Structure 1
Amino acid sequence: MLSAALSGFSLAAGLIMAIGSQNAHVLRMGLLRQHVGKTVLVCMLSDALLIAAGVAGMGTLVQQHPLLLDLTRWGGAAFLFWYGLRAWRAAFASESLNLGDAAPRYTARQAMLTVLAFTLLNPHVYLDTVVLLGSIGAQQPGEGKLWFAIGSTTASILWFAALGYGARLLAPLFARPLSWRLLDGLVGTVMWSLTLSLVWR
């Protein structure tokens, strides 16, 4: 069973650690030190539920009904384009460059809705967790399915905790306006790149 857990852990780590909209948002919230626990928890729970659903057989169901992914794809593309535009505007707005009192503030509700949008409106999340991890995990014999899901979920938990709470170590770097401009520009580029990848398929 250890081999199944390690397989799930390594595969999930490779998928989750790639920079994307969700990771960029978690990093930003960690740098701003706003609702980090809630943001990280939503990411962890969402991944755990999606991985479990995929291993339980939902990955096969989604592959048989591509309309579900198409609906998510276009909704996700619109959201990512809007957020990319917002990030680029922030890159040129001096008021977004401060980690202190002048930093933009999220309410708890805004923080939860935003991270849920990044998680649930991004088709790549479903492709990675439900379809890819789910289909591989579903092929594990016997209890291997459970251990594969545990390994995958463990990778997600460790990554989001490290990203959210480790971001504060970068705070001295992001005390400089140029660093914030570069981060916002990077986030905008990632969002629009993901948008294009969803639209041009």
Structure 2
Amino acid sequence: MLALVHGIILAFGLILPLGVQNVFIFNQGATHRKLLKAAPAIITAGFCDTILIILAVSGLSVVVLNFEWLKNLLFLCGTIFLIYMGFVMWRSTSDSSSKIQVPSRFSARRQVTFAASVSLLNPHAIIDTIGVIGTSSLAYVGHEKVIFTLACIIVSWIWFFFLAIIGRKVGQLGNSGILLKRINQISAIIIWVMAVYLGYNFFTYL
């Protein structure tokens, strides 16, 4: 029971703060007319988090991130990708055949690519998962460790679905695409700010 409660609280504590992953899932929920259309982003983010949590609990990820060059590479790739992703969101074009401005929606393939990238190319998210979940899991063994791990994973999946649902509700507030366009622009700005932060970390670690 303790392992279950610990896993739930810990996972919520890690996933609640505003981050690129959360912004992207919310954005996809808001910009698609049906929640099902945002499923590729939700499932990919959940799957990536599941992998990271399992790696953290197993201890394998700690070994990988002991290589300084790998951390620097993650910071560099993450910075470049976030800058690109911000431009893609900002430049979401409107439908020229309609008088109503509707931001273009990401295809399933692009959702998968972007969701995987913001999940796996985010050094801070990876380090937090390793440092917090991985370290906390050391307090448990056997079935308790399994319960702890499953609690973290389930919370992650629930949160992504919840974010997309909230995004969909927000997206339905406007009767035109103006609100959705603003959501895209705000998302882009947040992502650029995080790109600057990652870039700063990259040069700091050099």
Map Cα deviations across residues 139-195 of structure 1 (whole Å, 9 max, x no partner). Answer: 434433222211111110110111123432223324345533432232122112211
Q: Does 1:5 align with 2:7?
A: no
Counterpart for residue 69 of structure 2: 67
The C-alpha deviation readout for 1:47-94, integer Å capped at 9, x for no partner, is 11110110001243144223222211110010011222333344xx55
Q: Deviations over 1:27-52 (max 9, x none)?
A: 12212136322221111111111101
CA distance in 2: counterparts of 1:135 and 1:78, whole angstroms: 30
TM-score between the two structures when normalised by the length of structure 1: 0.83
Q: Does the C-alpha gap of structure 1 residues 94 and 110 become closer, same or farther in structure 2, counting only changes over 3 Å?
A: closer
* Partner secondary structure for residue 19 of structure 1: coil
When residues 172 and 117 of structure 1 are mapped into structure 2, their CA distance, relative to the original with a 3 A threshold, is same
The 3 A distance-change label for structure 1 pair 60 and 106 is closer
8 Å CA contact 2:103, 2:177 repeated in 1: no
Q: Tell me the SS of whatever aligns to 1:175.
A: coil
Query: Using a 3 Å threshold, how does the CA distance of structure 1 residues 183 and 106 change in structure 2: closer, same or farther?
Result: closer
The CA distance in 2 between the partners of 1:3 and 1:71, in whole Å, is 38
Question: Partner residue of 2:164?
Answer: 164
Partners of 1:21 and 1:174 lie apart in 2 by: 24
**For the Cα contact (< 8 Å) 2:45–2:160, is it kept in 1?**
yes
Contact 2:3–2:140 under 8 Å retained in 1: yes
State the Cα RMSD in Å.
Answer: 2.6
Is the contact between residue 9 and residue 155 of structure 1 (CA under 8 Å) also seen in structure 2? yes
The aligned counterpart of 1:81 is 83
TM-score by length of 2: 0.81
User: Is 1:19–2:18 an aligned residue pair?
Assistant: yes
Question: Is the 8 Å Cα contact of residues 95 and 102 (structure 2) preserved in structure 1?
Answer: yes
Q: Equivalent residue of 2:56, what SS? A: helix
Distance 2:86 2:102 in 1: 22
Partner of 2:204: none
1:13-162 alignment, distance < 5 Å: 13-31=12-30, 32=32, 33=34, 35-90=37-92, 95=95, 102-162=102-162
Gaps of at least 5 residues in structure 2 are 202-206
* One-letter amino acid matched to 1:107: S
Give the secondary-structure state (helix, strand or coil) at the position aligned to 2:106.
coil
Distance 1:18 1:135 in 2: 20
Q: How many residues align?
A: 196
Q: Which runs of 5+ in 1 are unaligned?
A: none
